Amino acid sequence: MKVEAGSFSISLPSTPLPARSSRVTCVVAAGLAFLLGVAVGVTLPIVLVHSPLSSSFQVAFARQEAARDTGSFIQPMKEVGARSLIAPEHTWSPYIASKLGIGNDNSSIPSLRASNDANAASPNALRSEWKRIPSEIDAPDVEEAAVLLVEGVYWGDSVEEKLPPGFSESEVDEWRKFTRQHAVVRLEEGCGRMQNRLVIFENGTKSCCRYRQNYDQIQGEIFSFYLSRLLGLTNVPPSALGVVKAADWQWSNVGSQLALAQWTEERPVVLTRFIEGLVPAFIPASLREAKRRLHPVNVEGQDPRDMIELAQWSDLVIFDYLTANLDRVVNNLYNMQWNPKMMEAPAHNLARHQKTGLLVFLDNESGLLHGYRLLDKYETFHASLLKAVCVFRRSTAERVRQLVLRRDVGDRLRKMFRRYEPDLQDYLPPIPDKSIKILNERLQNVHKQIAKCEKWYRNS
């Protein structure tokens, strides 16, 4: 057949058109093929979801997606319009992330922070996300977690009962009496700074004796010790005040050694009981990283033996924040600008009793006075440590609440000074009003942090 269009012509093959019955057969066959494809496409995924292969695929997919997330397993809820929230595509709780084998290191778990920003999901919502993960993954052992923690943020009886007892009130009283009733027979160099001395009494008992030219560090040491007792913290070694008098019966045996040490007459000193068997103490891994945190999610699944030290660390962070002690963990944080590995080094002025596991809070002289004067420089470090902690000892939290409620911490510290050191009133000033004001403010900040953590985790 030839088709002509203007000056062009095209020759087409002369193929006969199919019969009408053939065309109907083609249409029916195409329809059947379409219906079969739809049936297979719908039925096959339903079967595969319930197959063993499905579970392996989901885990592999989760790992792949988590790897793309570069360590951030929790994404905030996105705000749309004025009120509605849209969940992110992939939301993994820290617990589930660990069950999947991703983020086994605590440092990869992001911080759960309080925020007024609508873009921030609440920690309770994040912790409940494990329910959305496939049932093949085991749920948390609620019974075991309840033993470690109670009401979400407090160490449970299984931890409290195993904590080393520390230094009792009777030991403190005995030490105070001892330092007033026994003569000093020898001074040796040691116990920190240049003018400090290791004091040996007549029966061989040793004491670290703190001597300073100015009063504020002597005040810081003794009033920090008093505050530790008000808080129920038994980690600070027994301490008492004394006065250096070369002609006095207590110091007459070491007159020449006092002159060699360049100690001035009638200066107050702090006599702290020397503790044998101490070894270096290291900062917990959960507090070393930039996103440092000691929250309930960091406690779940850890060896119960590690909880004994972590419970003491929760007290240490509160104590150092209240006193603004810059000679301990803050020292490590500050020095990271020169040494990035500083957080892996032993904590400054902190030791662990090798036999009992007690963390011993040493050398607190920067607390309450010297540390308060340097808050402009170091407060960022103090605050970051406090905000990192969301697990507490109930007894410590209750002491903080009482001090905030009564606002009598200043009166109580001064009464302790008058009661325990009646002969030192003319040698050492009491804690100043300015320090009391700052201490009350910091007590309120600790109380707010505890309340915030209770709100986050109590019903989780």
Is residue 351 within 8 Å of residue 363, measured between CB atoms? no
Residues in the chain: 460
Q: Residue 368: is its pLDDT beyond 90?
A: yes
- Closest C-alpha to 393, from 310, 286, 458: 310
Average pLDDT over residues 51-61: 39
Q: Write the DSSP symbol of residue 347.
A: E
Phi and psi (nearest 5°) for 111? -75, 140
Model confidence over 177-229: pLDDT tens digits? 999 999 999 999 988 878 999 999 999 999 999 999 889 999 999 999 999 99
Domain ranges of the chain: 67-140, 169-273, 278-457
**Distance, CA of 439 to CA of 410 (rounded, Å):** 9
pLDDT value at position 298? Answer: 84
> To the nearest 10°, the Cα dihedral for 246, 248, 251, 253?
90
Contacts of 259 (CB under 8 A, 6+ apart): 246
Cβ contact 112:93 at 8 Å: no
C-alpha dihedral, 242 to 248 to 252 to 257, nearest 10°:
50
pLDDT at 94: 31
Q: Give residue 87's pLDDT.
A: 30
CA distance 368 to 243: 22
What is the pTM assigned to this prediction? 0.69
In the chain, % of residues over pLDDT 90:
60
Tell me which residue of 382, 376, 347 sits closest to 362, measured CA to CA: 347
Q: pLDDT exceeding 70 applies to what percent of the chain? A: 68
Rounded Cα–Cα distance for residues 233 and 315 (Å): 7
Residue 33, burial from CB neighbour count under 10 angstroms (0-12, 13-18, 19+): exposed
Contact by Cβ (8 Å): 290, 331: no
